[in-house]
Structures are given as structure tokens and as C-alpha cells.
Amino acid sequence: MSEPHGRPAGLSPYDGLVARASALDTGDPLAPLRDRFMLDPAGPAVPAGPADPAQDGNGTVYLDGNSLGALSTGVLPRLTDVVNREWGELRIRSWEESGWWTAPERIGDRIAPLVGAAPGQLVVGDSTSVNVFKALVAAVRMAPAERTEILVDADTFPTDGYIAASAARLTGHTLRPVPAAGIAAAAGPQTAAALVNHVDYRTGRLHDLAAVTAALHAAGALAVWDLCHSAGALPVALDAAGADLAVGCTYKYLNGGPGAPAYLYVRRDLQPRFDSPLPGWNSHADPFGMAGDFQPAQGAPRGRVGTPEILSLLALDAALDVWDGVDLAEVRAKSLALTDFFLECVAALVPAGRVASVTPQAHAERGSQVSLRCADAGKVMGELTARGVVGDYRRPDLLRFGFTPLYTRYADALRAARVLADVIEGTA
């Protein structure tokens, strides 16, 4: 990579990328939000000489928000108050006086606009895996008895596949894995429900939520969507698409923190039929009645199970403050511009033939990450991390870079591509 190390007189292609990154960052309407996160200084985007760990270590470029979002500055003060006052002083009174009891639904209503849902359809709690199980089994129970098939993306995130297989065994259904692009066409008269990823975790491919949902409905099947890699990175329109059920995590693009509780969406007209396979005292119509027979609560609380995980719920609540007033159209525009710019920088700086993007070029098919096929991906990502560019990799050969529009800069994208180029040259 000769340009950065020995630039000729005048504006080189590399200098042009630097100038463009600066201009894009200056004009970014979301740029002020970066100050609401605890991030290292960005460090120099353009070192004067060859990259080395000491030089690149001056600040971290964090491109792993698709695995764990950054900490927002409002979380620690909120948790300090929760621990010291609500738990430490009020203790049991906080279930009522501090609103702990209603937190799962209240915080669900805060997430609802980010996934295109009206209030009263989301409940927050449990893990994504547990909510996938609830949603898929409940979907199968809502389907006519003669429908004995569950469809699942053949390349889905492993847990989704494991749970789909367990749900099939539990309900006496047949599980049929099919390529994600073929799920809509594969649905037929035997299909009860399909579990579909909105964005593929390996490649970043975005699937058409509205079109796939419509095709499943046309076949008489229900659609269960996994939004883990889309919510908070791009607009999601659950209500407009008529999606039946959906689940998602909150620790990626929603920045809720490690192990933050997930959410479950049940379309309003389906709620009276939602038969959870995990009924608990918290989802009972009269939880403190301690009745021996289960009577489900009305509405979203049917998705609850046990005692809410208050500390992590309220950390998430504080993290969601960052989203107040944010325009999701601007988030999507920046996500696409960032990933476009990163791909352009990689093409310009990384030696030809050493990496290949498996992320779709078409905007309509792209989430908010870029995945590059690369030999020795684990070794390369380890070296990138040592030099201050944090992404991740998936075996055997994929480098993953997640672009979180609320805090990622265009200068970060350029620096990541430059350091990647140096690392690739060093492994030649």
C-alpha cells in the first residue's frame, strides 16, 4: 500500500479519501450523538509513516457494535441511582414506587418505535433464545393442526436453528431448513410457521421483511422474525408489514449492555391467541393471587415469565435515552454511506485479491455490517485488534465490521481500511 507511506505531490487518491472522510464527518447530522457514548479518542486517521501497534493504539476504532454496543454516558448515573436509592433505600417499595413492576412493558413501548410497532405489543425480558422459543412454539400452536412443518433459514444463527429443532420435536412438527432467499417460495399448505432472520449475521444480507411476510401469509403460514442484527441500525416496520411475531436482542445496535434483556413482539390481534410454552407467575392475569391454575394476562404481559431482571432492564432504559429524537431515516442513510465508504476504501487500499466482500452491494439487501472473506481471518483480526481496530471474525474465513451510525465516524472507516491494508501486506 504505497500511497499512505510515500505520497506524491498534489492530492493523491489516499489524500482524497482523507478529505472525503473529513467532509462527511463534518456534515453528519448524527455526529453530536458520539459524545453520548464512552469511546476512546478516535486516534489519527492518517499516520505519517507505516502503521505499527504503538501508533495505531492511540485510540480505538470500534467496529463491533453488531456484537456489543458501546456504553452510553447516561447508564452509569442511572444504575448508581437504582442501586443506591431504589434498591438500597426503597428496597421492596421500588416495585411500585419506582415502577419496577411495569418496566418490561414500559421499556417495550420505548423500543416499539425503533421496530415500527405501536405501543402495547412488546415486552422486554429474558434472552433472545428464550423469546425465540416462546414465539415459535406459540406460532405453531396458533396454526391449524394439519400444518405440520416449520421452516427455518438453513444458515441461521446456530441457536435459532437449535431452538427451531427443539420446537419441532416438542410440537410433533417437521423442521425443514431452506436457504433464506427461498423461504417465501418454500412455504406451502403444510407450513405452520417460518423463523426468518431480518439480517444475516455472517454476511450482513438484509431480507425483505414485508415481502417475505406477505408470501408466508399467502401460503397460510405465520412469520416469526429475528431482528437482532437490524433493530437500531435501520428502520423496521413490523406493523406495516403485518409481521406476526418478532424477537430481538438489545445489546447490539440498541447498546443495552452485555446480557441486556431481549424483547418479544406479538401483533395486537394475535395476543388473545398467544399461548406461551413458558407460562410463569409474571404472565398470570393475577400474579399475586397465587392460583393453582394458569390464567394468562391480557396483552403484551402474556410474554412475561418470571421476575424481571431489574438492573439490566433499567440499564437498557437509560441506554434508550440516546434514541430520543433520532430520525431512523438518517440512521439508515448514514449506515449505507458508511458501509459504502468503507468498501470503497478497502478497494482502494487493500492489495488486490486478498479480501472479497460477501456483503451485498445493493442497498436494499444490505444491513449495517461489512463482511470480508479473508485467508487467516482469525490471525488478521487479532492483529487488527492489537493495532486499535476492533471488529470480529467468524470461522473459517470471514472478517466482520459492524457500523453503528450513532457513533461511528467516516474517519473510523478509513482508518480501519488503512490498518487492514497494512496487516494484509504484512501477512503476504
Whether CATH 3.40.50.300 fits 102-307: no
Given 252, 354, 387, 409, the catalytic residue: 252
Q: How many helices (H) and strands (E) does the chain have?
A: 14, 13
263 is catalytic: no
C-alpha of 326 from chain center: 17
Q: Where are the domains of the chain?
A: 13-72+326-426, 102-307
Long-range contacts of 350-355 (CB under 8 A, 24+ apart): 350/1, 350/417, 350/420, 350/421, 350/424, 351/1, 351/421, 351/424, 351/425, 351/428, 354/424, 354/428, 355/399, 355/420, 355/424
Please give the pLDDT value at position 169: 98
Cα(270)–Cα(287) distance, rounded to whole angstroms?
22
3-state secondary structure 181-231: HHHHHHCCCCEEEEEEECECCCCCEECCHHHHHHHHHHCCCEEEEECCCCE
Tens of each residue's pLDDT in the chain, 428 residues: 434 443 344 567 899 999 999 999 999 999 999 999 999 875 444 443 444 433 444 589 999 999 999 999 999 999 999 999 999 999 999 999 999 999 999 999 999 999 999 999 999 999 999 999 999 999 999 999 999 999 999 999 999 999 999 999 999 999 999 999 999 999 999 999 999 999 999 999 999 999 999 999 999 999 999 999 999 999 999 999 999 999 999 999 999 999 999 999 999 999 999 999 999 999 999 999 999 999 999 999 999 999 999 999 999 999 999 999 999 999 999 999 999 999 999 999 999 999 999 999 999 999 999 999 999 999 999 999 999 999 999 999 999 999 999 999 999 999 999 999 999 998 75
134 is catalytic: no
Given 153, 226, 397, 422, the catalytic residue: 226
| Fold topology of 13-72+326-426 | Aspartate Aminotransferase, domain 1 (3.90.1150)
Encoded amino acid at 357, one letter: S
* Integer angstrom CA distances of residue 230 from 20, 209, 233, 398: 27, 11, 5, 19
Cα(35)–Cα(295) distance, rounded to whole angstroms?
47
- With residues binned 3-state (H G I as helix, E B as strand, rest as coil), the percentages for the chain, rounded to 5, are 45, 15, 40
Cα(324)–Cα(337) distance, rounded to whole angstroms?
22
Cα(58)–Cα(43) distance, rounded to whole angstroms?
5
pTM confidence score = 0.94
341 is catalytic: no
Q: What would the grid cell of residue 222 be? A: 405465520
Given 14, 62, 133, 157, the catalytic residue: 157
What are phi and psi for residue 47, nearest 5 degrees?
Answer: -60, 150
Given 14, 133, 201, 251, the catalytic residue: 251
403 is catalytic: no
- DSSP designation for 351: P
* Integer angstrom CA distances of residue 11 from 3, 16, 158, 415, 416: 11, 6, 48, 18, 21
Q: What would the grid cell of residue 60 be? A: 480505538
pLDDT in tens, 99-120: 999 999 999 999 999 999 999 9
Please give the pLDDT value at position 50: 41
Given 302, 400, 415, 418, the catalytic residue: 400
Is the separation of the CB atoms in 264 and 144 below 8 Å? no
Q: Is 162 exposed, middle or buried (0-12, 13-18, 19+ CB in 10 A)?
A: middle
157 is catalytic: yes
pLDDT in tens, 145-188: 999 999 999 999 999 999 999 999 999 999 999 999 999 999 99
